Chain A
Amino acid sequence: MHIDWFVLFCQIFNFLLLVYLLKRFLYGRIIKAMDDREATIAARFADAEKMKTKAEEAAEIYDRKNQLLAEKSEQLLNEVSIAAESKRKELMEKVREDVDAIKTRWQDMLMREKDAFFQDLRGRAARQIYATARRALTDLADADLEARIVDEFIRRVRELDKEKSAQIRKAITGGGNRVTVQSAFDIPKETQDRIEQALKKQITKGFTINYSMQPEVVSGIELRVNGHKIAWSLNEYLETLVENLTETLQKEAHSG
């Protein structure tokens, strides 16, 4: 077969030229573009990775902060509730104390009013009974009530036992030989003599008697000497009356 050397070398030259031109215009540029793009993408990925890491760190920091805040708020809440509870207890205690104080004051006041009432009642009752008894004695026995009271006093003096007599005698000696006889009424001289006679006979001699009039000794007569006393008065009866009355009133108050 015929070999056309010119065409052969021409084609070799053409091919080598094409290799050069394509290397110049195609491969170099395209490969460079692809490499550049790969580098750009790699850089972007690296950036994204960096940003992701940064974002994760930031998220972690905020999580930690949130947790701290939550813990702190819980702690504050606990402290506040503890403080509120203690304040409540304190106030309750104070109120209880106030109520107790008011109650005590009210009870005291009530007691005082009750006492005042009974005091008053006793006084009135005593005076009333005294007046009634006096009128009754005057009307019925035709005798002076005061004389009867003195008689009763003298009788009691006479009926003193030895031991009591000895005690009183000792008291009279220790009290400077002075005896006080108190009565709610004026005692006539004659009666005073009778009393003195009776006392000297029953107890001892050699003392002076001092008479005084005391309205507090309700319708009675009493002898006081250095802590000892011989007496008769409506007081005893009145006290019994008052006790009974108090008991009755309390029962009624409780049942009411």
Chain B
Amino acid sequence: MEIVAINQISPDQVILWTWSFITINVTIVYTWLVMAILVIGSWLVTRNLSTGINVSRWQHFLEVVISTIRGEIREMTKKGVDDYVPLIGTLFLFICVANVLAIVPGYVPPTASLMTTAALALCVFIAVPFYGISRNGVLHYLKEYFQPNFIFFPFHVMGEISRTLALTVRLFGNIMSHEKVIGILLSVTPLVFPVIMQALGLLIGVIQAYIFAILSMVYIASATSAQEESHKAAVSEGIQA
């Protein structure tokens, strides 16, 4: 039995348990699975951390990952790098693990659900003013919406909303379409080609995770450091293109 049928566009459609308005579908279950893998893995590795010369392989691995994330964040903003690591790092790790696990048969990435990507994009949508206000104050943050003059206010608001929508749809579209392409290929050419697509899917999954995290950081950085706004906007334009 296929968990997600070809005619079902989202894993949200596969409902495992329901009671009143509470519906537990495949998206939520696999989200919990990814969360469990991340949290238990982190806990196992970080139980016995070494600060000396001899470091375990897993600790090395996690240190490389965290260092890379910090490095990426540092390129966007100069101040308070470690403040952004939990949000940006979790975005990247969650999306990456959720996408990469697609190689396991029977698994459907939660990111193939519009609700998941929308939830992540909403988090970023909230995080941008949160960080902006905590860094520069309410007035300074709101003033940015009226730059260069008040006429631009609606455009700024539209920009905020549209980029959140773009984040949502980009990730959803990529992962969902990949799942569908695999499903279609399996029915058309069941040998060889689906394998190639799976390999490509791994690459796409990691790239999407990277894009989502980096764009989130760009939005946050543009809100927290107005001076570098033009530069960040150029970067974000480049990535979106």
**A interface residues (Cβ-Cβ under 8 A, vs B):** 1, 3-4, 6-12, 14-19, 21-23, 25-27, 29-34, 36-37, 40
Q: Using A22-B42, A33-B63, A40-B52 as known contacts, say yes or no to A11 and B119 having CB atoms under 8 A apart.
A: yes
Beta-carbon contact of A22 and B93 below 8 Å: yes
How many A-B contacts at CB < 8 Å in the complex? 110
Residues of A within 8 A of B113 (CB): 7, 11
Which B-chain residue is minimally distant from A16 (CB atoms)?
B123
CA distance A6 to B123 in the complex (A): 16
**Within 8 Å of chain A (Cβ to Cβ): is B235?**
no
CA distance A10 to B25 in the complex (A): 11
A76 to chain B, nearest CB (A): 53
Beta-carbon contact of A15 and B94 below 8 Å: yes
Beta-carbon contact of A26 and B66 below 8 Å: yes
Beta-carbon contact of B32 and A14 below 8 Å: yes
Beta-carbon contact of A26 and B119 below 8 Å: no
Beta-carbon contact of B118 and A8 below 8 Å: yes
**Within 8 Å of chain A (Cβ to Cβ): is B240?**
no
Beta-carbon contact of A19 and B87 below 8 Å: yes
Per-residue contact bits, chain B 85-126, to A (CB 8 Å; 1 contact, 0 not): 111011001100000000000000010011110111011000
Beta-carbon contact of A22 and B28 below 8 Å: no
CA distance A3 to B116 in the complex (A): 11
Binds A, one of B43-51, B128-136, B226-234: B43-51
Residues of B within 8 A of A26 (CB): 38, 42, 46, 62, 66, 89
Beta-carbon contact of A29 and B46 below 8 Å: yes
> Can you name 7 A-B residue pairings with CB atoms under 8 Å?
A4-B25, A6-B23, A12-B119, A14-B28, A18-B90, A26-B46, A33-B46
**B interface residues (Cβ-Cβ under 8 A, vs A):** 12, 21-23, 25, 27-28, 31-32, 35, 38-39, 42-43, 46, 49-52, 59, 62-63, 66-67, 70, 82, 85-87, 89-90, 93-94, 110, 113-116, 118-120, 122-123
Residues of A within 8 A of B46 (CB): 25-26, 29-30, 33
Beta-carbon contact of B110 and A11 below 8 Å: yes
A1 to chain B, nearest CB (A): 7
B97 to chain A, nearest CB (A): 10
A14 to chain B, nearest CB (A): 5
* Residue from A9, A19, A33, A40 within 8 A of B90 (CB atoms): A19
Residues of B within 8 A of A6 (CB): 21-23
Beta-carbon contact of A31 and B114 below 8 Å: no
Which A-chain residue is minimally distant from B94 (CB atoms)?
A18
Beta-carbon contact of A25 and B39 below 8 Å: yes
CA distance A22 to B93 in the complex (A): 10
State the main secondary structure of chain B at its contact with A.
helix
Beta-carbon contact of A30 and B62 below 8 Å: yes
B2 to chain A, nearest CB (A): 21
Beta-carbon contact of B39 and A22 below 8 Å: yes
Beta-carbon contact of A15 and B85 below 8 Å: no
Given A6-B23, A7-B27, A26-B46, 20 additional A-B pairs, CB 8 A:
A7-B23, A7-B28, A11-B116, A12-B123, A14-B35, A15-B94, A16-B123, A18-B90, A19-B90, A21-B38, A22-B42, A22-B89, A22-B93, A26-B66, A27-B89, A29-B49, A30-B49, A30-B62, A32-B49, A34-B63
CA distance A44 to B50 in the complex (A): 16
Beta-carbon contact of A18 and B28 below 8 Å: no
Beta-carbon contact of A27 and B66 below 8 Å: yes
Residues of B within 8 A of A19 (CB): 86-87, 90
B101 to chain A, nearest CB (A): 15
CA distance A160 to B3 in the complex (A): 185
Which A-chain residue is minimally distant from B123 (CB atoms)?
A15
Beta-carbon contact of B35 and A7 below 8 Å: no
CA distance A33 to B63 in the complex (A): 9
Residues of B within 8 A of A10 (CB): 28
Residues of A within 8 A of B25 (CB): 4, 7
Residues of B within 8 A of A32 (CB): 49
Which of B90, B110, B113, B116 has the largest count of A CB atoms less than 10 A from its CB?
A: B90
CA distance A14 to B118 in the complex (A): 13
CA distance A78 to B161 in the complex (A): 97
Residues of B within 8 A of A27 (CB): 66, 82, 85-86, 89
Beta-carbon contact of B12 and A23 below 8 Å: no
B31 to chain A, nearest CB (A): 5
B118 to chain A, nearest CB (A): 6
Residues of A within 8 A of B115 (CB): 3-4, 7-8, 11
Residues of A within 8 A of B67 (CB): 34
Residues of A within 8 A of B122 (CB): 8, 12
